[in-house]
Amino acid sequence: MTFWEYLGENYRVLLEQSFVHVQLVGTSIVLAVVVGVLLGIAAHRSALLRPTILNVTSTLLTIPSPALFALLIPFVGIGNSAPILALFLYALLPIVRNTVSGLRSVDPAIVQSARGMGVGALGRLLRIELPLAWPVILTGIRVATLLNVGVAAIAVLVGGGGLGEEIFRGIRSLGSPFAPNLVFGGTLFVVLIALLFDLFYLALGRLTTTRGVR
């Protein structure tokens, strides 16, 4: 069977696995954006908290993904919960770092002007600092998402779904004539998902960033 024949016969399975794969990545990124931006704001505002927040999130990213997935099983069990939690932890560092970098890149004169006009701390954050820092923050979210698209393929090791099922089915069948098709098919769809996410963030950046900030 050629690779194209394999895709023709198994595209529905690959699409179903892709949908689960996107769910794993999407859920983890939504959680990471909420928590990561809040941690980034805290790290930006507090010189005391900044080293701790950055060091902890950096350490999480150094843990090998199979080990982290396995360590989470006693707490959340087998299935998609452990992968989602692990992907959430992996996504924190790029988002936190870019939130801090984005907020630090805001011109202090603009913030001081807003303070002089009577705008409160929360108003300055929501109306001035975060909008100006948004392009940098979005880059961090984009990096975290593309990172998680690849790591999510490991979810199958702890009973999760996604395209890792097809890839590891091929790995377990190494030596058989259809094994390369399974590996290449799963990998191809992982790459396609990454490209679609990338295009989504490019479009989102254009829609949500004013011309003066681009």
Residue 192 lies in a domain: yes
Angstrom CA distances, 43 to 17, 57, 113, 145, stand at: 37, 12, 23, 22
Predicted confidence at residue 46, as pLDDT, reads: 92
Residue 73 lies in a domain: yes
Token pair, residue 63, equals 């843990």
Residues of the chain with pLDDT under 70: 211-214
Predicted confidence at residue 42, as pLDDT, reads: 96
Angstrom CA distances, 159 to 81, 151, 154, 182, 195, stand at: 10, 14, 10, 19, 26
Q: Supply the range of the domain harboring residue 35.
A: 3-208
Domain CATH code at residue 152:
1.10.3720.10
pLDDT in tens, 46-80: 999 999 999 999 999 899 988 898 888 888 888 88
Closest residue by Cα to residue 134 from 210, 24, 29, 44: 210
Predicted confidence at residue 213, as pLDDT, reads: 59
pTM, whole model, 2 decimals?
0.92
Amino acid at 110: I
Residue 214 lies in a domain: no
Token pair, residue 103, equals 């907020």
Residue 62 lies in a domain: yes
Residue 213 lies in a domain: no
Residue 83 lies in a domain: yes
Task: Identify the helix (H) or strand (E) that includes residue 72.
Answer: helix 65-76
Residue 127 lies in a domain: yes
Token pair, residue 171, equals 């790995």
pLDDT in tens, 17-31: 999 999 999 999 999
Token pair, residue 46, equals 């507090």
Could you tell me if 149 and 199 are in contact, meaning their C-beta atoms sit under 8 angstroms apart?
A: no
CA dihedral of residues 99, 105, 107, 108 (deg, nearest 10): 70
Residue 15 lies in a domain: yes
As for how many domains the chain has, the answer is 1
